[in-house]
Structures are given as structure tokens and as C-alpha cells.
Amino acid sequence: MNTLKPAKILTIVGARPQFIKAAMVSRALAAFRPTAGQRRFEEAIVHTGQHYDPAMSDVFFEEMDIPRPVVNLHVGSGGHSVTTGAMLEGIERELLSRKPDWVLVYGDTNSTLAGALAAAKLQIPIAHVEAGLRSFNRRMPEETNRVLVDRLSTLLFCPSENARANLAREGIVNGVHVVGDVMYDAVLHYRAKAIAPALDEPYILCTLHRAELTDDPVRLRGLIKMLDEAPHKVLMPLHPRTRKLADRENIVPGTNVCWLEPASYFAMLGYIEHAAFVVTDSGGVQKEAYYLGKRCVTARDETEWTELVACDANRVVGSDPAALRAAFDWAAQPLAENRDVYGKGDASERIAGILADM
Ligand code: UD1
């Protein structure tokens, strides 16, 4: 019998994409069967409360059957420093009382940074899922978060060899493992539950929420106007941040663009699976489009997911409406069959296995 004490993992999540990633890794940690010399896991999830609307948070826990967080810090919305500071304080309290062996963080949000920084100060080792991504654009808050969290992490789980190379260029070579993308695991696991939208005509699925766009009414207005001239109807589940800017600036979609409430994970899988193609500034949606066999037009100046551009699944058009229009014909063409640029869909199990060997 294995008598080793379980490894205590404290997982920090707070924003929508982190719930999706944590769903798969939490499942793999719970299902892990240790062999001789390995420990089993005891995981507790801390929710920072960065995303708090039920449609931005609760629905993911319910659909994806994610273990209930042991605490929600309810930091809510505000400036970067105010919210990150509030997270630091709350996370430190949890770390001191729960004394985990590892802190597990995901992606590049302010919740990721707060989790890593609080852990580093208490000398608790950090495991970072989705390490090594770079946009090389320091105007993005996410880029600052990525660079700092990778610097502080003991285990760095990369989705690709490019991510590993990015880390190597910054001198980070120890503890780096290319495991693939946990979001691919999620698509494979939940695809059968996708909810098809009730619409009989072809449509384009679009999401826009990045600060670089939603803090700039001129850019957002230009893109929405161009979407009105797209070859098909455009379905747009709206992030509250985008909705707020549109309301404030009186940006109203034309008749071709249909604004919707934020979508659940299963609804999103359905929207993408049945779309003609995808337009987005989200990182996760770029990959989900690829996994579900759709081309993606990325409304940003660069992407971290460069492998998708290399295999002609993704085209980066910035926020120039003419470039967006020029990509429509390309986007409507079917995508080549292979789906293997970010691993085999076993990233979560590999992460559990590596943690168990530590
Ligand atoms: C955050 C991440 C971004 C990620 C995105 C996924 C950072 C710096 N950015 O951006 O990388 O792609 O999550 O969605 O962490 N709001 C609500 N209700 C909510 C959540 C947000 O109304 O439940 C509104 C608030 O006005 C808030 C704004 O959206 O101020 C922005 O929210 P915030 O969490 O700061 O950043 P996101 O844009 O969601």
C-alpha cells in the first residue's frame, strides 16, 4: 500500500479561460493512480472572483463539473493594482493556512500573477500551465503576467516546442516540459456535449474582448461596422467589458450582427463547431476553432499561437477593417485535417504524472 502523504495542490483560478483549463487538470489530479514512490493528490481550488457574473463563472463550474472552490475572494472589478493587490492579500492568507506543496496557476491573467507572486514570497513552488507563450507586446497586461509568472515558476508546462524555445531565450530551461494544450483535452472530452445553435443559415462566430480593442472605441466601432458587411450573419456572444464600452460609446451593431449574452462552454463549442468560420481576439477561441476544424481570423496585431498561422488555420489581421474583409474568402475554405500542433489531448494526464514524480 502507498503510505506516502498526499501532495497538497492549491489551484488559483479567477477568469473564464482558467475554469476551462482547470476542469481538465483537476479531473486528471483526482483520477491519478500513483505507482511506487509517487504521491496521490489533494487539491483545493481558490477562486479570486476576478470574473463574477454567473455567465462568466458559475456556469463553467456546473457544466464542466469542476470541484467547488474552497473559497472565493470576491475581488471583483477595478484597476489592475487594486484587484491584483486584493488577490495577493487573500491568496497569501489561504497559503498560510493551507500550507500547500504546490501552487498551480493557469495562463496569463491577473489571477495567475497574484497566485504566483503570493506563492513565490512564501517560497512555495509554482507550477504554471500554459508557460512560455509570448506576444512580444508589452502593452498587453497579459504579456507582463506571462513573463513574470514564468520567471517565478518551478515547473513550466508548455503547449509547444515554440513555447519551450521562448523560455530558453529568457534563460529558463529547468523544469520545462512540453505537454501539449489542456484546452485540446477539454475539447475532446466535452465535444459530444456541444449545444448547436438554433439557426438554419450559415453564420460567423465572433468574440471581441481584449483591452487593446475594448479600450479603443474607434477600433471597436470600425470592426463592428465591417462585420455588418460580412458574407454571413455574425453571432457575437459579448463579454461584459465589450458590452460596457459599446453602451458608453453608443456603438450599435447593424442588422447583420447579432449580440448575445456571454456563452457557456457547451454553447461556445456548438457555436464554433457549426460556424462557417471564426473571428476573435481571444487566445482560447483561436485554438478551439482549430480543434473544431474551423479557420480563424484574429483581430489582433499578433498572436501567441503562431503554430496556427504556420499551418494556415489562422490569419492575423489586426484591427484594420479592410484586412478583416480581405480574410473572409480565405476563412470560408475548409481546414486541413490534422489537429496535432498542440499535442495529443493528454496534456492534463501528463501534468499530473510530472507533478507526482516531484
Ligand atoms: C481577463 C484577462 C484576459 C482574458 C479574459 C478572459 C487580465 C489582465 N485579463 O480579461 O487575459 O482573456 O479575462 O475573459 O487578467 N466584467 C463584468 N463581469 C465579470 C467580469 C468582468 O462585468 O464577471 C467587466 C468589468 O467591467 C471589468 C471588465 O469586464 O472591469 C474587465 O474584466 P477583467 O477581469 O478586468 O478583465 P477581462 O477583460 O475579463
Please indicate, yes or no, if residue 315 is contained in any of the structural domains. Answer: yes
| Annotation marks residue 209 as catalytic | yes
Domain that holds residue 262: 193-331
**pLDDT value at position 285?**
98
- 158 plus 199 within the same structural domain: no
Cα→Cα distances 254→202, 226, 242, 257, Å: 18, 10, 16, 6
- 169 plus 227 within the same structural domain: no
| Mean predicted confidence (pLDDT) in 43-63 | 98
Please indicate, yes or no, if residue 338 is contained in any of the structural domains. Answer: no
Cα→Cα distances 20→160, 181, 290, 348, Å: 19, 12, 17, 12
- 257 plus 327 within the same structural domain: yes
Residue 36 has pLDDT above 90, yes or no: no
Confidence bin at 206 (pLDDT 50/70/90):
very high
Query: Which CATH number is 286's domain given?
Result: 3.40.50.2000
Residue 1 has pLDDT above 70, yes or no: no
- 320 plus 221 within the same structural domain: yes
- Which residue has a Cα nearest atom 29 of ligand 1? 241
**pLDDT value at position 127?**
98
**pLDDT value at position 321?**
87
- 71 plus 138 within the same structural domain: yes
109 lines ligand 1 (CB under 6 A): yes
Residue 161 has pLDDT above 60, yes or no: yes
Q: The whole model's pTM is what?
A: 0.97
| Mean predicted confidence (pLDDT) in 72-95 | 98
Candidates 83, 209, 212: which one to mutate for ligand 1, based on the most atoms within 8 Å of Cβ?
209
The ligand 1 atom at the shortest distance from the C-alpha of residue 283 is 12
Residue 90 has pLDDT above 90, yes or no: yes
Mean pLDDT of the chain: 96
The alpha carbon of 95 and the centre of ligand 1 are apart by a number of angstroms equal to 24
Residue 10 has pLDDT above 60, yes or no: yes
The residues, ordered by sequence, that sit 6+ positions from 292 with a Cβ below 8 Å of its Cβ are 187, 191, 269, 272, 273
**pLDDT value at position 319?**
87
Please indicate, yes or no, if residue 187 is contained in any of the structural domains. Answer: no
- Which of 51, 128, 209, 239 is flagged as catalytic? 209
Please indicate, yes or no, if residue 2 is contained in any of the structural domains. Answer: no
244 lines ligand 1 (CB under 6 A): yes
Return d(Cα 245, Cα 319) in angstroms, integer. Answer: 16
The alpha carbon of 14 and the centre of ligand 1 are apart by a number of angstroms equal to 10
| Mean predicted confidence (pLDDT) in 69-79 | 97
What is the count of structural domains for the chain? 2
Return d(Cα 8, Cα 333) in angstroms, integer. Answer: 48
Please indicate, yes or no, if residue 57 is contained in any of the structural domains. Answer: yes
Please indicate, yes or no, if residue 91 is contained in any of the structural domains. Answer: yes
Could you give the angle at the alpha carbon of 306 between the alpha carbons of 303 and 308, nearest 5°?
105
Q: What is the pLDDT of residues 256-266, one digit of tens each?
A: 999 999 999 99
Please indicate, yes or no, if residue 68 is contained in any of the structural domains. Answer: yes
**pLDDT value at position 143?**
98
Please indicate, yes or no, if residue 45 is contained in any of the structural domains. Answer: yes
- 33 plus 129 within the same structural domain: yes
15 lines ligand 1 (CB under 6 A): yes
- 293 plus 222 within the same structural domain: yes
- 45 plus 174 within the same structural domain: yes
- 209 plus 163 within the same structural domain: no
- 86 plus 117 within the same structural domain: yes
The alpha carbon of 16 and the centre of ligand 1 are apart by a number of angstroms equal to 9
- 266 plus 349 within the same structural domain: no
- 56 plus 144 within the same structural domain: yes
Distance between start and end Cα atoms, the chain: 19
